[in-house]
Amino acid sequence: MNDRELHRHRLSWLIPYKYRAIYPCLLLQHNTHEPTEQQERRERSAQHTTTSGSTRMARWAIAIHGGAGVDPNLPVHRQEEAERVLARCLQVGVDMLRSGAAALDVVDAVVRELETDPCFNSGRGSALTRAGTVEMEASIMDGHGRRCGAVSGVSTVRNPVSLARRVMDKSPHSYLAFNGAEDFAREQGMETVDNSYFITEENVGMLKLAKESNSILFDYRIPLAEAAASESHTNGGMVMNGLPISIYAPETVGCAVVDSSGHTAAATSTGGLMNKMTGRIGDSPLIGAGTYACGHCAVSCTGEGEAIIRSTLARDVAAVMEYKGLPLQEAVDFCVKERLDEGFAGLIAVSGTGEVAYGFNCTAMFRGCATEDGFMEVGIWE
């Protein structure tokens, strides 16, 4: 333990737990340049664990997200809808953790719930390719042993995240894609549906708009009239891979959990980009980029997939904790600030000792978190 860590460790003993949120400047000295309310927000969202000598007792914690990058003009009723879905899915995870469920089972179940609701871009309600079809991808990782499974190009499997878990548990591989993933799902007797099940009328309209403007659309749940009016966003505005982005709000879903045994797990699922090329693969199924879990933490990312891939963002959070010795929130802040270059993204994370953290460098991120001591939060903006 270096001098700075020793100083922080001593402070954590000097300040009673219930008062730590009142003195964030003492425990989070790296954030003294931030506004006081942001310090307090970060302190409230961190679940501090008890210590006994050098042994830290794990407490369960959960974080979920529904995508980073939200249009500031998103209608209020759509914000409220997203928050209701997040709160419901978060409660599913909380109930499981209270009953003693394992982290891996929790992330699987929570992401399944998110995939089933068309509010976000995963499972039913996924973004459409240029061909008007749905190609979904997902990954899951067990921090206990760092086992993992991932799928891409899934078009008929009702819950891609559970197929990713089946790849991890029942195959000799870590990653299956397109026909191979579909064939394996049928061999395993997993529930399949017609591709039309995942397609919504609203998404068909947004694909038409995207083609007309030759754009990749992210927040395709902005009503069509408002999205058409927002074309000015593309004039000299944000660009990804050389193409204009009408509204930046990729709505990938994800979950990160540490259970009462201190085991971590993470899962991420998405339909990708509206009007994407067929065969495009983003960060969500890539272990170390969109998803990662180990003894230090569990992470799920969302945002500009190509930037997340280049930065191996999820793994980098764990690496910064392991090699630089940073606590969770500092590691998240460092990676979001230093590793994305000009990309836009966000992430959620939990530590193996029960902390929760999140970070993003865009307008907002749909997210929620809860900890064993009763703290629960659902939010969108900073």
Q: Which residue ranges make up the annotated binding site for substrate?
A: 280-283, 302-305
Which structure tokens are listed for 71?
């249009």
Instruction: Give 368's strand partners.
Output: 64, 378
Give the Cα separation of 241 and 307 in Å (integer): 10
Burial tier of 110 (Cβ tally within 10 Å: 0-12, 13-18, 19+): buried
The CA dihedral of 59, 169, 118, 67, to the nearest 10 degrees, is 50
Q: 140 and 211 in contact (C-beta within 8 Å)?
A: no
Is residue 272 within 8 A of residue 250, CB to CB? The reply is no
Q: Which of 156, 234, 252, 363 is catalytic?
A: 252
Give the residue ranges of the annotated binding site: 280-283, 302-305
Please confirm, yes or no, whether 55 is among the known catalytic residues.
Answer: no
Residue type, 280: R
One-letter identity of residue 72: P
**Phi then psi dihedrals of residue 36, to 5 deg:** -55, -40
User: What are the structure tokens assigned to 352, written together?
Assistant: 């193996």
- What span, in angstroms and rounded, lies between the C-alpha atoms of 179 and 164? 14
Contact between 66 and 81 (Cβ < 8 Å): no
Ramachandran bin of 329, using left for φ above 0, alpha for ψ from -120 to 50, beta for the remaining angles: alpha
3-class SS of residue 15: coil
User: What is the C-alpha separation between 221 and 232, in angstroms, rounded?
Assistant: 18
Q: What is the pairing mode between strands 51-52 and 55-56?
A: antiparallel
The catalytic residue positions are: 252
